[in-house]
Structure 1
Amino acid sequence: MTKDEAVAVLWEYHRLHQNLKPADLLLVLGSNDERVGVYAAGLYRQGLAPRVLFSGGAGRFTEGLRGTEAERFAAAAEAAGLPREAILLETRSTNTGENIRFSREVLEENGLQPQSIIALQKPYMERRTLATLEAQWPGMPFQVSAPQMTFDEYLTDTLNEEIVISAMVGDYQRILEYPRLGFSTEQPFSARAEEAFLTLVGLGYTSQLLR
């Protein structure tokens, strides 16, 4: 398998391609890609949910940046047309598990009890996000989505090929390893995705692997 083939296979494995239906809440999990916030604003304008909760303090890729992930995402969404009164913030979390735990606390503090949620993340984190939500918020109906982009469309000057491929590789490993720790649910195994993962590890995209 060539590098380009491996990238395409792993990118596609991480995607879920769910057809979204209206829900009670958009839960936006913070990261280093504020385009997810803009995507949330678009879904809000389409009527997919009446409230948007942005969750994120600082994580692997955002330590040291000004403001929290939630604040930066909310600002990007507001600039894209999301009304301020529709916004909730959770600014303490440092990983996906904390995104869920602290977001639930924010909802409780605001007297909100959503019966269905659309979670938004980066494209290559859709599957791991769903697996984490299923394990750590059982019983809640979730849909998961991300900006609709190909791998090449996703790349920017700051989110370059090295960063994104390494992150995809790291997330694939976490999909395999985290269920045995109770962090997430088991996901379908793909022999092609495993081959792609091993190909990219062999090519040196290892900076985001668990140690």
Structure 2
Amino acid sequence: MFDIKSAKVIWDYHHLDQDVVPADGIIAFGSHDLHVAERAAELYLSGHGRYIIFTGGLGRITQKIWHKPEANKFAEVAIEKGVPRDVIFIENVSSNTGENIQFTKKMISDETISIDSVIVVDKPFKERRLFATLKKQWPELNFSVTSPKYSFEEYLSYYQESEELTVDDFINIMVGDLQRIDVYGDNGFQIKQEIPDTVWDAFQILVKEGYDKQLIKA
């Protein structure tokens, strides 16, 4: 069993808890987490945007569990929730966050989509990394960040019941994203983020417990 206190410290650090106000549109970043698609649909249906862009092909995790691009899976979820197909744009060839941004920018330009302001949606444990990456790679974008409104305990329950990923996968992904915030801030891939000692201590505890499967070579 992992150190729950340390996992919750990292979970809280990943959150930005930004206010979300209506914008031109919504950009949902693909992953294995279909809750992100549900959150994007919820925002559209509550009048927070006039369109949704789903971005994501198959990444390092989803290529092992799905045969359909993330963006297409997300679009299906949104349509089931009541979002009209004609307000959905799909970018489905990117395989990482940098490509998500690069290919989405090109699609927006090609389709002449209004982009004065957007709400970006991702996993709860990727809010901070997405924010820092967008600030570096898309500095002109006027955006706020949000994620599915579920607690750490609710996500634990979800992964306990999931047939695709496990609780250990969940903790490994959170730990890996924290390391990326540190490494990518140093190499210029994103703007730097301060990582408090308490958060880094939690990271070290979980790594020592064996949660190192999503770490990258620094």
Q: What is the TM-score when the length of structure 2 is the normalising length?
A: 0.93
Letter in 2 for 1:68: P
Letter in 1 for 2:25: L
Q: Offset of 1:141 from its aligned partner?
A: 1.5
Name the stretch that deviates more: 35-44 or 153-162.
153-162
Which residue is 1:34 aligned to?
Answer: 34
Tell me the amino acid that sits aligned with residue 100 of structure 2: N
Q: Secondary structure at the match of 2:62?
A: coil
CA distance in 2, matches of 1:139, 1:186: 18
State how 1:59-138 maps to structure 2 within 5 Å: 59-64=59-64, 65-138=66-139
Structure 1's consecutive aligned runs of 4 or more residues displaced over 3 angstroms after TM superposition are none
Hey, what does 2:215 align to over in structure 1? 209
Per-residue CA distance 1:69-106 (angstroms, 9 max, x = gap): 00000001110111111100001100001000000111
Q: One-letter code of the match for 2:17?
A: H
Secondary structure of the residue aligned to 1:143 is strand
Amino acid at match of 2:60: R
Distance (whole Å) between structure 1 residues aligned to residue 194 and residue 80 of structure 2: 38
- Residues in 2 aligned to 1:80 and 1:46: alpha-carbon distance in whole angstroms: 12
Amino acid at match of 2:173: A
Distance in 2 (CA, whole Å) between partners of 1:205 and 1:5 is 14
The amino acid that maps onto 2:183 is: E
Q: Establish whether residue 166 from structure 1 lines up as the match of residue 172 from structure 2.
A: yes
Task: Measure, in 2, the Cα distance between the counterparts of 1:112 and 1:42.
Answer: 21
Q: Partners of 1:186 and 1:47 in 2: how far apart?
A: 33
Displacement of 1:23 in angstroms is 1.0
Rounded Cα–Cα distance in structure 2 between residues aligned with 1:140 and 1:78: 27
Structure 1, gaps ≥5 residues long: none
What RMSD, in angstroms, separates the aligned Cα atoms of the two structures? 1.2
Aligned partner of 1:175 in structure 2 is: 181
**Number of residue-to-residue matches in the alignment:** 210
Which residue identity lines up with residue 75 of structure 1 in the other structure? E
Matched, 1:58 2:58: yes
Which residue does 2:10 correspond to in 1? 10
5+ residue gaps in structure 2? none
Give 1:195's match in structure 2, choosing from 201, 207, 212. 201
Question: One-letter code of the match for 2:16?
Answer: L
Q: Give the C-alpha shift of residue 112 in structure 1.
A: 1.6
Partner of 1:22: 22
**Structure 1 residue 152 displacement after superposition:** 1.9
Q: Which residue of 2 aligns with 1:47?
A: 47
1:11 corresponds to which letter in structure 2?
W
Distance in 1, Cα, partners of 2:24 & 2:145: 14
Shift in Å at residue 150 of structure 1?
Answer: 1.3
